[in-house]
Structure 1
Amino acid sequence: MKKSIRKCLVALLTCSMAVSLFVGCSKEKGGTAPDTESSNVNNTEETGKIVEISFPTSWVGVSTNTEWFNDRLAAFNEQYKDKYKVVVEEIAGDQAYVDKMKVLYSSNSLPDVISAGGYNLIDPMKDQLKDLTDYIDADWKAANSEVCWNVNSRDGKIYGIPYSRQVIGYFYNKDLFAKAGITEPAKTWDEFFVQCDKLLAAGITPVSMDTADSGWLTSLILGAMVASTDEGEQFMNTSLPSNYNTPEFINAAAMIQKMFQKYTTSDAIGGKYENGASNFFMEQTAIIANGPWMVSDFYDTAMVEEGFADKIGTAMFPEGVMYNSGKIGFHIASKTEDKLNASLDFVRFLTSKESQQKMLEMTGDIPSDVTVTSDTIYPIINEVIENGNNAARNINDFQSLWYANVVDEISIQYPLLAQGEITPEKFAAALTKAAEKN
């Protein structure tokens, strides 16, 4: 899942109230994206009726994608004038968004278009999602990386349209590393913990961590630890695992417990992503695991000191592990043909080459279209991509592959693990029990 803060650290108190915003959208006849031809026949061509589709989004407020989405929505409005109307519901925060989708699913009232920020809604909701296989033409299919289609498909059927892929390692503060006498990122986890001890000895808290909202920062480290062996790498690329009672997972949980108790900030337990990011921005921690969408924040002087980006280095996780995979994209749950066609045109527009290039340049998200590049992105982003290209082990992120209730369970179990109230074995058993409920 994509995580970032923009413009102001008052995001720590982000409001989760949803606000409905009605936006008219259309174009003259045709219903096609800027660089692809649509095969859909829209009923508006015959009736002149404006078709409304619903699109709740968390790309609002301080979200990294807000500026990009507003730009793309304005362009869609112009192109599809007098033809479509997109009813945009603003929902602040990825977790609040997912929770709202769960409520709508329970009443069989999912919106026309859904984008859950990488969360896996396919498996718990696919009976209400549209099978899009027959609507994806050869050119659309070929333009995107195969791993992106794989994560959006089940049993040969496509339930999601990709727009980006995950390439995630960790960022570190080169100045803080230098103060601790560290010259380069660790190659092994044993070396990583030696470096953590050096940072502590220099009065520096090593790592930003969290537990709330699935513990994004912590779980990225956990998954990389699991993937340090052949068996663990296979596990981290397995869709909907049901058994977490494995040596590699339990060992990783033990290392996470150690990090909570020794190598992170006091606000990590119970803390959200925003706490961990803020600590890194204020140079209170030396390491944070996250993706390239965060890079723009390193240059934002409303959030960090001038020159902060010059201090930041990029790294693979120890043992050469990188998250380098497809990301779950847009779903469609339209119940009528005219809304389906309108939704397809909307999603086709948002996933076009032009839109993906703008996303790369404006947010740092890596496009799912392997032909999309840009010479204007921050150099740090290119470093992250290069790390992904050179990784010895490539894995998918937990939010895309694990059962949704297991992802929820993590936030319950992390504080218990951190405070020593449960063992790593019991942590693994709790996730296994949650998976078995599906």
Structure 2
Amino acid sequence: MGDRELSRRGFLATSAAAGLGMTALSGCGGDSDGDSSSGTTTIEWWNISTTQPTKSVWAALAKKFEAQNPHVKLKIVQLENDAYKSKMTALTASGKLPDVFHTWGGGVLRQQVDAGLVENLSDRTKPWSEGLLPVAKEPYLLDKKVYGIPFDIGMVGFWYNKALFQRAGVSEPPTTWAQFLETVSKLKAAKITPIALAGKEKWPGMYYWAYLAMRTAGIDALQKASDTKDFSDPGIVRAGAHLKELVALQPFQKGFLGAAYSAPTGQAATVGNGKAAMELMGQWAPVVEADAGKGLGSDLGFFPFPAVEGGKGSITEVFGGGGAHALRRGAPQAAVDFLKFFASEASDLELVKKTGVLPVVPAAEKGLSDPNTKAVQAQLKAATGFQLYLDQAYAPAVGQEVNDSVAALIAGSKSPEQVAQSITKTAKTEQ
């Protein structure tokens, strides 16, 4: 999943990890040095912005905040995301988190909150946080309390080649699952590979099962399954059956089971080079397609995951995620002030224009120029429900089992029922 998260954050999926950043790893916040002689408060800020242009943009914002708050010093620690996860796991176990730290929400944030390590921001960020895009705040609301302030949000949907659709006689993107399967058949009949998939990395395949579960069982069923540790809901099993219908059409590129996401012959490049008509991917897809391949330019289009006939879900319910900042419990007011600064219209506009993220401050939408990015933002604004990536929403072992089981279904070695049973077994073991 490293590629996905680096893509989401730095929009350079093929970049190598950029080292350990600006500060040594030995120290950790949690004490916020207050220099009694100068009255300076030092805030330790841990993030994963190791790739350009994000790294430079964030550093400039940090300097701007310090200029506006002369009695506050930001001490920045930057880590590539896998190293960050490893270090934060150790810090969580030690009971001492940084003053300000990156979070994806979901299962890991829940563990940190349950351990009493994270500040409840509900009162401390009123009223300014109430003006942020509602869907962007969803992953960080636990028991209706605010534990993170988002700086990024996105969703997964289908990115497609308009020219290839036209060649296959498909005039409009499908809005139902039956129409989607028909589109796949038309593309195959026109000797066009319908879908590119990075089967080697597993998480891209999980997107299909997750969306189908949302559309058939309904978005609440996925939360209930997590809470009850039981994934046997008939709608969730049916999601696997629908995915099996798709797999039976053999829609993926040759060698997809061994394909990576952002490699020169991977999923993104296959679409970016016009060798497949579609990919199901997050909002970062166009940049990675252009980076790994040639990119499609004006031939690239976007459409939401179709509705499933007779299902309990809606096409306006979205699947995705983003990034946020959380605070350690008892963090000083200066840390809250920094969150407010980072979530301001001026800061968000910088992030939108210079790093390609989608705005979490509605007024920063004026920074968007690409029509596909605008289409994604319109879907997010109109969203009637939001589901965080399952491998982040659930406890780590459960999320991994979802990825593994769905990959087995796509490879033909597990049935829809066995997928549900495997995830349930892992969930019950993960007490």
- Find the counterpart in structure 1 of residue 7 from structure 2: 4
Structure 1 residue 141 and structure 2 residue 132: aligned?
no
Structure 1 contact 3–294 (Cα < 8 Å) conserved: no
Distance of 2:243 and 2:87 partners within structure 1: 30
Change (3 A) 1:377 1:146: same
SS in 1 for 2:408: helix
Distance of 2:50 and 2:21 partners within structure 1: 12
Distance of 1:204 and 1:422 partners within structure 2: 28
The code of the aligned residue for 2:365 comes to T
Structure 1 residue 235 and structure 2 residue 234: aligned?
no
Q: Deviations over 1:223-244 (max 9, x none)?
A: 2212224x42332565944322
Give how far 1:350 is off.
Answer: 2.0
Structure 1 residue 124 and structure 2 residue 111: aligned?
yes
- Find the counterpart in structure 1 of residue 359 from structure 2: 367
Q: Structure 2 stretches of 5 or more lacking a match?
A: 25-31, 308-314
The code of the aligned residue for 2:207 comes to L
Distance of 1:289 and 1:427 partners within structure 2: 21
The code of the aligned residue for 1:57 comes to N
- Find the counterpart in structure 2 of residue 113 from structure 1: 100
Structure 2 contact 155–380 (Cα < 8 Å) conserved: yes
Give how far 1:21 is off.
Answer: 0.9
Aligned pairs, number: 405
Distance of 1:209 and 1:296 partners within structure 2: 17
Distance of 2:325 and 2:256 partners within structure 1: 32
- Find the counterpart in structure 1 of residue 238 from structure 2: 251
Taking every aligned residue pair, what percent have the same amino acid on both sides?
Answer: 20
Q: Deviations over 1:66-110 (max 9, x none)?
A: 45434423433544456313232221x4x5533442233233343
- Find the counterpart in structure 2 of residue 331 from structure 1: 326
SS in 1 for 2:215: coil
Distance of 2:172 and 2:42 partners within structure 1: 54
Distance of 2:21 and 2:278 partners within structure 1: 38
Change (3 A) 1:77 1:342: same
Distance of 1:203 and 1:128 partners within structure 2: 57
Change (3 A) 1:105 1:389: closer
Change (3 A) 1:277 1:107: farther
The code of the aligned residue for 2:318 comes to Y
Give how far 1:352 is off.
Answer: 1.9
Structure 1 residue 402 and structure 2 residue 399: aligned?
no
**TM-score normalized with structure 1 length:** 0.78
SS in 2 for 1:4: helix
- Find the counterpart in structure 1 of residue 76 from structure 2: 87
- Find the counterpart in structure 2 of residue 72 from structure 1: 61
Distance of 1:147 and 1:141 partners within structure 2: 12
Q: How do 1:11-410 and structure 2 match up within 5 A?
A: 11=15, 14-15=16-17, 18-22=19-23, 44=34, 47-48=37-38, 50-61=40-51, 65-66=54-55, 68-80=57-69, 83-91=72-80, 93=81, 95-117=82-104, 120-126=107-113, 127-133=115-121, 135-210=123-198, 215=203, 217-229=204-216, 231-236=217-222, 240-241=226-227, 242-259=229-246, 262-266=250-254, 268-269=256-257, 271-274=259-262, 275-297=266-288, 303-305=292-294, 308-319=296-307, 320-323=315-318, 329-333=324-328, 340-374=332-366, 376-388=368-380, 394-399=385-390, 401-410=393-402
Change (3 A) 1:85 1:22: farther
Distance of 1:10 and 1:263 partners within structure 2: 26
The code of the aligned residue for 2:218 comes to G
The code of the aligned residue for 1:187 comes to T
Distance of 1:194 and 1:154 partners within structure 2: 40
Superposed CA RMSD: 3.5
The worse-fitting range, judged by mean Cα deviation, of 426-435 and 198-207 is 198-207
Change (3 A) 1:79 1:19: same
**TM-score normalized with structure 2 length:** 0.80
Give how far 1:151 is off.
Answer: 3.3
Structure 2 contact 121–148 (Cα < 8 Å) conserved: no
Give how far 1:310 is off.
Answer: 0.3
Structure 1 contact 8–303 (Cα < 8 Å) conserved: no
Structure 1 contact 292–364 (Cα < 8 Å) conserved: no
Distance of 1:9 and 1:388 partners within structure 2: 23
Q: Deviations over 1:312-358 (max 9, x none)?
A: 11112112344178756212226xx6x53343233332222222222
- Find the counterpart in structure 2 of residue 434 from structure 1: 426
Distance of 2:354 and 2:221 partners within structure 1: 33
Q: Deviations over 1:369-397 (max 9, x none)?
A: 33432154212212223344567x64323
Structure 1 residue 422 and structure 2 residue 414: aligned?
yes
SS in 2 for 1:163: strand
Structure showing greater relative contact order (alpha-carbon pairs closer than 8 Å, 6 or more residues apart): 1
Structure 1 contact 325–395 (Cα < 8 Å) conserved: yes
The code of the aligned residue for 2:22 comes to L
Structure 2 contact 50–78 (Cα < 8 Å) conserved: no
Q: Deviations over 1:282-321 (max 9, x none)?
A: 22322122333444556x5x55537x22011111211234
